[in-house]
Structures are given as structure tokens and as C-alpha cells.
Chains A and B, each alone.
Chain A
């Protein structure tokens, strides 16, 4: 059922009343037998759109971008073949949780892009906030019969920023590089659905702020759909709750998730991932590897890779996880070659950035340079 006048799959921006909002909770279930929630939701509660202003001025971030959301301002400079409209793809709803309730409550306008031609240059999107306010940005992207490299810069300097990106691929391929660099509170949700033969190569590097909740949900619905997702969550004296969820419905679908997290100087890095292979997804394969490295005393690491397989007719399903400190022997090896401890740590993280971004083609070097920048800040 669609609201009349809209092509299928296009929706008006959902609205939410205060009454409904007040009843919503952040989570329906506890995160683990011993911990209610890894994300410090109380910080979001204290800095919600009910307490902070929902308007803010924009600022020049110094990045050449096609879509710039800064504060409450939006600027577009789109290449040929990319259409702009308002609304969403209906992949996220305010009633899902309190944080999404806040997101839609504070959201002024949701935008939609439609890409039907191969993009030669990456589509660059910036979402930024520098004032003490609760600001929501919402962008939906449809890619049909085309290849699109997309870069998302998710930057929160102050206040609370909530960014939701909805993505739908129909017979399309996309490379997505997400660079999260936060100082304040940030909420990020990516919801992607992949149709037949669609492929996504995603790479996320996110440096946590006061508290960053970063979640990516991928629904592999089409036959033969593929996802290679790699992520590097980093927390230096800051906190990141990084969630990666992959749902496989399509026959012969493939997914590979690799996350290497680093917590340093009292930082907190949590990686949780669900890989679920439904009964229909015959002949599918799914891999999740989650490794968090605690770099010093006082830092914390949690790794929870969950695997749900609803049928025996699968090619392969596995997951591995570890939470440990840097391999002392490996550190020593580099030190014995004249590198100081800091230099050695930097080289390792840098090395992981290289290894984890080698599935990208068009965005590989951009990914690597961003990792280097963030690693410099990390150490």
C-alpha cells in the first residue's frame, strides 16, 4: 500500500508526536546477561531534542562535497545523473526505538537521491554539527542499474547529531566509505537493502566521541547479493558502540564482515554483529570476524558476534572473535627494528587499515588516507 501519487518504495518523511515519543524505550532487550546496554543512553537522554534546541547554524567544514548537511543547513551540488527529491525509502521508522523517535522528532527535512547512471567521481556526503543542539540529518539513496562510489563524512563536534542513511540497490554496485570522527554524542544508522545481483563493498572507520552509537544494517534480499563489510571502530578515551547486522534472505547470497577495533587511553570499544541466514537463503555463506584490541590499562573491549542459521543448506557460516591486547611479540619485533612503542602501534593500526580496505577499488586510497589521519589522532 503506498500513499497515492508516490512511486513504490517512496515515502513521506515519517512524523512522531510527543505523546508517542514519551512511551518509547531505547532497547527492548538487554544487551547481554550482565549488561543492560553497551551504549550509554543516559547521555542521549540528557542531550535529547526535548532538552536541546533543534536548530543550529551551519559551518564550512572544508570538504568539497556534493551533499553538505551542517547544523540545520543543507547544500547540494550534484553531478549529472543524480536526482534530488524529498522523503525517505521507508527503511526506518520513528517507533522502532527512542533514539529513532528523537531522530524523527527533531528532523526538519528528509532528502532522497536517485542514481541511475554510473558515477565517475565518488558522491561525497557530509553530515556535521558544531553547536550544542540536537540535529537530525536524513538521506536516502537509490541506486538502480549503476555503479556508485559513496563517501560519507560523519562529524559531530558538539551537541547531539543523529544521521540516518537509507540505501536501496537494484541491480547495482556500490562502494561505501564512512568516516566517523566524533567529539560529542553521535547516532548513526545505515539501513541498506540489496536486490538481485547487487553488491556492496563497505569500509567504515569511526573514531568515537563522548559516546558514539554507530549501526549498520544490511538486508541481502536478492539472489546472489553480496556484501563485504570491514570496519575499524576506535575509542581513545572515548566510547564507540559499533553494531553490524547482516540479514540474508537471497539464495546464494554472500556476506563477509571483518571488524578490528582498538581501545586506548581509557577508551571503550564494543563491536556487536548479527549475521542471520534465513531458511530461504539456500547456498549462502556468511562470515563474521570481530577482534578488539585493548591497547593499554584502563581500556575496555567487547566483542559479540552472533550467528543465526535457519537452515542446513548453506555453503559456509562461521565467526571468530577475540578481545586481547597487542601481541607483545609482534610489538617487540618492530621495536627491535628501532621503532618506538608508539611508532609500532601506529604501524599496526595503519597496517590493519591497509588490509581491511583492500576490497575497495575506487575508494581504496581515500580510505587509507582517512585511516592514517584518524590513527594519528588516536595515538
Chain B
């Protein structure tokens, strides 16, 4: 040990704050290259043939984007090329992959090992034009129409149901929240619009991309889901199989409005290629006795930011957020959940499981805020991190603020490593290290797997196995 205290050295460098994680891992500000002009946004709106009010919404958001400061908690991005965004939001240029052979080799190989049928392989590699014509769900669309369920690409909904859309669009997650939500509102393109009428229950999970197709592939897709009183829907977006994306920055948004007594389950599984910086804005407003459940599985991408949020607005509203995030390799996952309790007798549950391996970093950011008057509300948070080797890291930053004495927030977290004992036990039963690792990881996240449909769990399991196999996954 040297004579100098580490503290002295750090102090000379600046302040203790620098190493206390608020500026981890790169304390630089993101450089913005280029500019997004009003003309670009106007042209975008014109190409989409949008009504006047949507154009105004975009332009106001653009103004906000310019005014708002770069959020300090966004780490890991050094530079953003704004000009490339507007290119990508033009529909014809959304997909660069025209041919199966254009796909990176490791992705192709992964598909083979996953036994994904030919049709899906083509879809996942971006050849949706082929897929759309053979849609399995065309029959489903008829059923939906009979019940009054509206499910179509967001852009179509803007034109076909303007009043309905106007009532909710941008009201759950407004553009002014932070710089990237403003950016999203200015450039949004694609996404799904879902409306479930009063009392209607959709008894099986809806796998979004099969129904909406290519519209969900976009860079700035906006999904708006409205569940009217007493309705039930389970919406799944994304797919556990690896997806190649042509763009490198994704700023999507999901707005959910759950009316009285409604139940919405929203599942996102993301396994995008390693060139993507993935930014998600997800929020639900939950009214009296309604329930919204977020299940978030984040496997791929270079950096992912996602914090599914719930606002418990009505009495007896409930929510649960289950987040699994895997950072296998020199990647960063900055995930978490946010919940605001604004009414009495509300309850929330956050379960976060993160796995860091091969130099991966996982950051959990949680916020639970119980406002005064939210009597008898309870919030429980459990966030566990599993670090598989000495190079990987896990950071947890939970903020729990309670202004209501009759309410309670309880939070538990553990950060553990791969137990040698567990590994040895599995080894002694003939299971090799890599297989053992994937078994342990699957056990670690089993609580969350329970909420997913069977097929998803199967593919997810295979994906995780592949991640830890000799091939080393998609990365």
C-alpha cells in the first residue's frame, strides 16, 4: 500500500462524486453531430400524409429537443449523428438487408441453431415484404374487428381514428420529459395502435410483430395501447431470437392507458444486434383498480436504456415490473423501473434480475415515490444481480421516497457471483461449465420466466444457452 491514500489521488482529480457512480462509466457529454431541421420534420409529416395537428405536435417537440439539456444520467454514448436519424425514418431506407446473404454470419448461424422456421428467419432478417403476404394472423384480424378491437399501425390510426389518438397521444409520456422523449415525438414513425373496448378480453397473448408486421421495426416507433374499462390484453413485442437492425440508435416509446378495472400485460423481449444503442421510453397510467404488468427481457444491443414506468393514478391501482437484463460482453445495460403512487391502496412490485458476464455492465436505476395521501399503499422492490466473472460489473441505484406514513416501501437487493459450489455440484453431475452457467442463469431468472408464454420461454432458454456456449451468442 502506498503512502498516499487513494482518496488523495481522487480528490486531486476532481471530487469524490466522480467515482461514486453518478458519472460511471464515461463522464463525457454526448456530442451531437449535425442538426434536425424544421424542413426535415415537415417533409417527414408530408410523406406520411399526416393531419395538421400531428405536424404541429412534431414541430413543438423539435423545439423542446433543442432547448432541453442532455440528461446527465445517460452514460456510454459519446456521439450521436442526428442527420442519420432523419434518413432512417424515411420508409424506403428502413431496411438495408435485402438478401439473406447480406446478414452477418453469426446471426445466420444462430438462426440455424435455434431451429427457427424459414418464414421467421426471413422476417427477422428484415425481409418482411415476403412475410406479410403469408401472415398467419389474417384470420385473427377478422375476429378483432367483430369485437371492436382496433389494432393497426400507428400511422394509419392517426388518420383513421384522429379523435381517439389525439386524446391519448403524448399525454402519458409527453415530449417535454427529457431530451430523448422530445426527439422521439419529433421523429416518430411506425409502431402499433391498440384499442380494446369496454369489457372485452383477449384471451391469448398478441404477438405484435406478426399482426402489425414491419411497422414495429422502426427506429422511432410509437406504440399506444388503450385498454378501456374492464378489458384484458397481453401484448408482446419483440422476439428472443436475435434481430439484425440496420440503424444504430433507437428511441422508441410505449404509452399505455389502463382505464378502470382494465388489465394490460406488456411484454418486450429484445435481442438486437450489437451495433444498436437502444433507448426506450415506456410509461403506463393506471386508473382505479386497473393493473398493468411490464415484462422486459433485454438480451442484445450495445447499450440499452429502459425503465418501464407506472403511474398509479386511481385508488386500488396496481402494477408490477419484471425486468431481466443480460449483458454478455463489453456492453452496457442501464435498466430499471419507476413507480409513482398517487392514490390510496395502490400497490407495486418491481423484480429486477441482471446478469453480467465477459466484461458486461448492468446498472439498475429504480424510483419508487409514494405521494402524501396515497394511504395504505405498498411497494416492494427486489433487485438481484449476478456477476459471472471478475471483469464484469453490477451497479444498483434505488431511490425510495415515501411521504405517506401509512404506506411502506420495502426493498431488497443482492449482488452475487457465480457460486463455485453450485458450479462444482453441476460439474460433478457431468454438466460442463458453459451449460452449467446457462442453467444457473435460467434458475436465477425463473421467477420472471413464469409470466411468459411457453414458446417464448423455450426460445429464450435456447438463446441464453447459446449466449453461454462456445460460439458465444450473437455478439
- Hey, which bits of chain A sit against chain B, CB under 8 A? 8-9, 27-30, 32-35, 89-93, 95-97, 168, 191, 193, 195-196, 217, 219, 221-223, 245, 247, 249, 274, 276, 279, 282, 292, 294-297, 299-314, 316-325
Contact = CB atoms under 8 A, between A and B. Distances in A.
Contact of A320 (B12, B397, B402, B411): B411
A9 B410 contact: no
A95 to B, nearest CB: 8
Contact of A245 (B16, B395, B402, B411): B16
A191 B404 CA distance: 34
Interface stretch (B160-168, B238-246, B412-420): B412-420
Nearest to B20: A274
Given A33-B338, A320-B413, 11 more contacts: A91-B5, A274-B21, A296-B405, A308-B394, A311-B392, A317-B414, A318-B412, A318-B414, A319-B411, A322-B408, A322-B409
Contacts of B22: 28-29
Contacts of A309: 385, 387, 393-395, 415
Question: Which residue of B1, B365, B412 has the most chain A CB atoms within 10 A of its CB atom?
Answer: B1
B7 A219 contact: yes
B391 interface: yes
A302 B402 contact: yes
A323 B17 contact: no
B390 A249 contact: no
A195 B72 contact: no
Contact of A325 (B16, B385, B405): B405
A118 B185 CA distance: 67
A324 B408 contact: yes
Contact of A34 (B356, B369, B396, B402): B369
Given A217-B16, A219-B7, A294 B405 contact: yes
The 6 lowest CB-CB distance pairs between A and B, nearest first, are: A324-B408, A312-B387, A323-B402, A317-B415, A193-B5, A312-B417
28 contacts: A28-B15, A29-B17, A33-B338, A91-B5, A91-B7, A91-B8, A196-B1, A217-B7, A249-B6, A294-B402, A294-B405, A297-B405, A300-B402, A302-B401, A303-B411, A309-B393, A311-B387, A311-B390, A311-B391, A312-B417, A312-B418, A317-B414, A318-B415, A321-B398, A323-B402, A323-B409, A324-B410, A325-B406
A305 B389 CA distance: 24
Interface of B: 1, 3-8, 11-12, 15-17, 19-24, 72-73, 338, 356, 365, 367, 369-370, 385, 387-418
Contacts of A193: 5-7
Contact of B6 (A221, A299, A308): A221
A310 B398 CA distance: 17
Contacts of A320: 410-413
B367 A32 contact: yes
A295 B8 CA distance: 41
B73 A33 contact: yes
Given A29-B23, A276-B19, A321 B392 contact: no
A91 B11 contact: yes
A191 B7 contact: yes
A331 to B, nearest CB: 12
A97 B18 CA distance: 12
Contacts of B404: 294
Given A193-B6, A319-B396, A93 B390 contact: no
A247 B110 CA distance: 42
Contacts of A92: 11
Contacts of A245: 16, 20
Given A92-B11, A302-B400, A324-B407, A9 B393 contact: no
Contacts of A324: 402, 407-410
Contacts of A276: 19-21
A337 B3 CA distance: 58
Contacts of A35: 401
B437 to A, nearest CB: 12
A301 B341 CA distance: 15
A311 B392 CA distance: 5
B3 A9 contact: yes
Contacts of B399: 32-34, 302, 304
Nearest to B72: A29
